[in-house]
Every structure is written in C-alpha cells, then in structure tokens.
C-alpha cells in the first residue's frame, strides 16, 4: 500500500494512545516501514518525545471530551494533505473492581475513550479511504471483550462493542480495498494495570512484551489480517465458551478472578 506523499513517505498513519505502551512501539514500527506517524497522546511531554523519536507529528487530545476525536482526525488529515492511510485505534484505559463501586463518571469515560472515540475517528477517516479504495483500520481489543472478566464489567463491555463494530465494518467494507483488523490482547507489559488502579498480580499468564502486540498490529496493516490474538492461545478460552458455555462458566468460577 503506497501513496504519493512528499518526502518519500508511504503515507500517514495515525496511532492513538501512542505516548506509552503498545502505541509507542507501534508508532516506531510504522515509522521504520516508511509511514509519517501522527502520534496521539494526552501527556504533552511524553507525546512530543515519542513524536521526536519517530520523526512524527505530535497531537495531544483528551478523547473523552466531546469533539476531540474529530479535531484529532482533522489534524491528521492536515498532516497527510487530506488523506490518512492507516488508523490504529489503540488509546484506551481500564478500571478494576466490583461494578457497584465504580466511581461516578468512570463508566462514561470508559465508553467515550474505548468505544465512542474509535467510532468517531473511523467515521471521520473512512470516507477518504473508501474513495481511494485503500486503507487500514486497526482496533486494539481485549480478551475481556470476548469472554467477559469479573471486576472489569464496564471495560469488557467497551471492548466487546469495539470488536463487534470492527467485525460489522469489515463485512460492510468487503471488496472496497479498505481492510479492518482487530488485535485481541491478553496481558501486555504496559502501564495499563497500574493506571486502572489495581496492579496485575497473577503468576500466570506472564505479561507479554509490547513488541509482540505491535507485531500483531503490523500483521493487520501489512498482511491484511482480520483478527490476531496476543498470545495465540487466547483463542482457546473463546472457543471453549462458544462450544461449551457451561464448562467455561465452571472454569471461570474457579480461575477467573484475580
């Protein structure tokens, strides 16, 4: 997938949540492959540092705020002279605990950042991709959105919605040249768990390096993969839940909560 951008770039790639974790590594990987990367984050210093490291363009935005996703999309389009070839919807956050103890406003913010913002960014950038007959939309989902996880009901709901949105969009865009990929992530070694308020405490499975997740994103961008599980064995619990839901519920009752 190439584009006639100045400066020899293959095209413009917008990576949300790129100021840390998976987003940072993904931004670097896309830059190495010739993309001009628009680096999104909320922290100005961290976002600017990543952008400088990948020779990209920093754009700060709080995706929980109304209109910020649209502003981010417009700035990315400005960088690309009216076109963006790749959108990686990576930004997101979690919250852990019994649902009746979730702080006021947290569920709404989870929905805004994890689900509404990717939909808004897609709505803003898809028309150009469809008109050109080329583009890649990648969504970072979670195993929590596939099977549900105790203590993460609101977060799991946002990721389930995101995955369903991506699947529906893929069917809609079949034959248009616009690809839709989903990365279903398990436990990745990022600040996610500290930021959700509860560190990851299990001995197994061990957190996976961010580079593995970034490689999964690249499989969606460069090879057109529709769905990549990180790690691959995460397909097993999804399959068990699908064919033997009673067995899965029993296993979840014994091993499901941290």
Hey, which residues are catalytic here? 155
Lookup result for tokens 């690809």: 179
Give the Cα separation of 200 and 187 in Å (integer): 9
Give the three-class secondary structure for 107.
helix
Contacts of 128 (CB under 8 A, 6+ apart): 77, 82, 83, 84, 135
Secondary structure class of 133 (helix, strand, coil): coil
Q: C-alpha dihedral over 164, 92, 116, 66, to 10 degrees?
A: 180
3-state DSSP assignment of residue 204? coil
Cβ atoms of residues 79 and 5 within 8 Å: no
Structure tokens at 54: 């990948």
Cβ pair 30, 13 in contact under 8 A? yes
**Cα–Cα distance, 234 to 137 (Å, whole number):** 22
């Amino acid at each position: 997938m190439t584009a006639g951008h100045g400066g020899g770039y293959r095209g413009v790639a917008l990576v949300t949540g790129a100021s840390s974790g998976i987003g940072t590594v993904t931004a670097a990987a896309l830059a190495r492959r010739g993309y001009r990367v628009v680096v999104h984050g909320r922290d100005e210093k961290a976002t600017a540092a990543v952008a400088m490291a990948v020779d990209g363009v920093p754009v700060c935005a709080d995706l929980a705020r109304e209109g910020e996703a649209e502003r981010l999309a417009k700035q990315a389009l400005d960088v690309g002279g009216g076109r963006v070839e790749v959108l990686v919807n990576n930004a997101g956050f979690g919250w852990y605990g019994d649902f009746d103890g979730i702080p006021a406003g947290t569920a709404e913010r989870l929905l805004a950042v994890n689900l509404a913002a990717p939909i808004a960014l897609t709505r803003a950038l898809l028309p150009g991709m469809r008109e050109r007959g080329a583009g890649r939309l990648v969504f970072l989902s979670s195993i929590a959105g596939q099977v549900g996880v105790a203590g993460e009901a609101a977060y799991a709901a946002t990721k389930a919605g995101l995955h369903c949105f991506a699947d529906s969009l893929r069917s809609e865009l079949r034959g248009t040249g616009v690809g839709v990929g989903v990365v279903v992530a398990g436990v990745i070694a990022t600040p996610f768990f500290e930021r959700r308020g509860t560190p990851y405490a299990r001995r197994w499975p061990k957190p996976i390096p961010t580079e593995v997740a970034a490689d999964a994103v690249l499989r969606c961008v460069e090879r057109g993969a529709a769905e990549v599980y990180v790690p691959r064995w995460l397909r097993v619990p999804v399959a068990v839940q699908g064919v033997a839901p009673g067995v899965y519920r029993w296993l979840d009752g014994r091993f499901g909560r941290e």
